């Protein structure tokens, strides 16, 4: 969730259960479902992300609030596991570097690199995909659909220079933006 108020305060919040219903364990009387983030650790003891006392697993859950001249101008967050980081970053860069409103920034084509594969939005020109492949990327072309969260879900709010607030979220079948 990303939010802003009329005083110019911005917030971005991410909560995660890891899997769809976390550990499938409910704390009696609270309505709180426990997560199952232990699966985010590397089970190999010699790895940096291994299970050890006092450690937290490496997890991609960025919530971003950006300011310009001491005033918040953008808040973004998302869902979608390891693809959250690239989803939020792409939305922010499209808004700040290319001047897109939050909805257009969220809707813009993205890519995500994890492991040996570079997942590229099918809307990105074939010439760009070919150039990535020529550089050695193992390009996997994907499209978001109601059955595939290929590039993460994002919620964002931004303030125009005149203070007008604009919001966006996506993909459209899994999220919504509202104001009151």
Identify the pLDDT of residue 38: 79
Identify the pLDDT of residue 60: 64
Identify the pLDDT of residue 51: 86
Q: Where are the domains of the chain?
A: 2-16+59-108+153-174
Burial status of residue 43 (CB atoms within 10 A of its CB: 0-12, 13-18, 19 or more): exposed
Rounded to 10 degrees, the C-alpha dihedral 84/87/92/97 comes to 150
What CATH architecture is 2-16+59-108+153-174?
A: 4-Layer Sandwich (3.60)
Rounded distance between C-alpha atoms, residue 148 and residue 118, angstroms: 16
Rounded distance between C-alpha atoms, residue 51 and residue 56, angstroms: 8
Identify the pLDDT of residue 10: 95
- Residue 6 tokens read as 């009329």
Rounded distance between C-alpha atoms, residue 144 and residue 79, angstroms: 14
Rounded distance between C-alpha atoms, residue 66 and residue 11, angstroms: 10
Contact 66, 74 (CB under 8 A): yes
Identify the pLDDT of residue 23: 86
pLDDT one digit per residue (tens) for the chain, 180 residues: 899 998 999 999 887 777 778 888 999 999 888 888 778 888 888 888 888 888 877 666 678 999 999 999 999 999 887 888 899 999 999 999 999 999 999 999 999 998 889 999 999 999 999 999 999 999 999 998 888 888 989 999 999 888 899 999 988 777 788 766
Identify the pLDDT of residue 59: 67
Rounded distance between C-alpha atoms, residue 103 and residue 171, angstroms: 10
Rounded distance between C-alpha atoms, residue 110 and residue 13, angstroms: 22
Question: What HEC string does 88-143 produce?
Answer: HHHHHHHHHHHCCCHHHHHHCCCEEEECCEEEEECCCCHHHHHHHHHCCCEEEEEC
Identify the pLDDT of residue 28: 94
DSSP for 153-179 reads EEEEEEE-TTS-EEEEEESGGG-----
Angle at 100 between CA 94 and CA 5, to 5 degrees: 100
């Amino acid at each position: 969730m990303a939010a802003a108020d009329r005083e110019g305060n911005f917030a971005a919040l991410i909560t995660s259960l890891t899997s769809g219903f976390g550990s499938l364990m409910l704390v009696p009387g609270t309505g709180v479902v426990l997560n199952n983030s232990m699966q985010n650790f590397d089970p190999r003891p010699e790895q940096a992300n291994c299970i050890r006392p006092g450690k937290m697993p490496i997890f991609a859950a960025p919530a971003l609030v950006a300011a310009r001249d001491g005033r918040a101008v953008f808040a973004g967050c998302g869902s979608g596991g390891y693809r959250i980081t690239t989803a939020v970053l792409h939305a922010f860069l499209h808004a700040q570097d290319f001047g897109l409103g939050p909805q257009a920034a969220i809707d813009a084509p993205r890519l995500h690199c994890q492991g040996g594969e570079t997942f590229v939005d099918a809307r990105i020109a074939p010439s760009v995909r070919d150039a990535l492949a020529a550089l050695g990327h193992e390009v996997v072309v994907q499209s978001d659909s109601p059955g595939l969260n290929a590039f993460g879900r994002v919620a964002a709010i931004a303030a125009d220079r005149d203070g007008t607030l604009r919001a966006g979220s996506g993909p459209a079948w899994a999220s919504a933006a509202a104001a009151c």
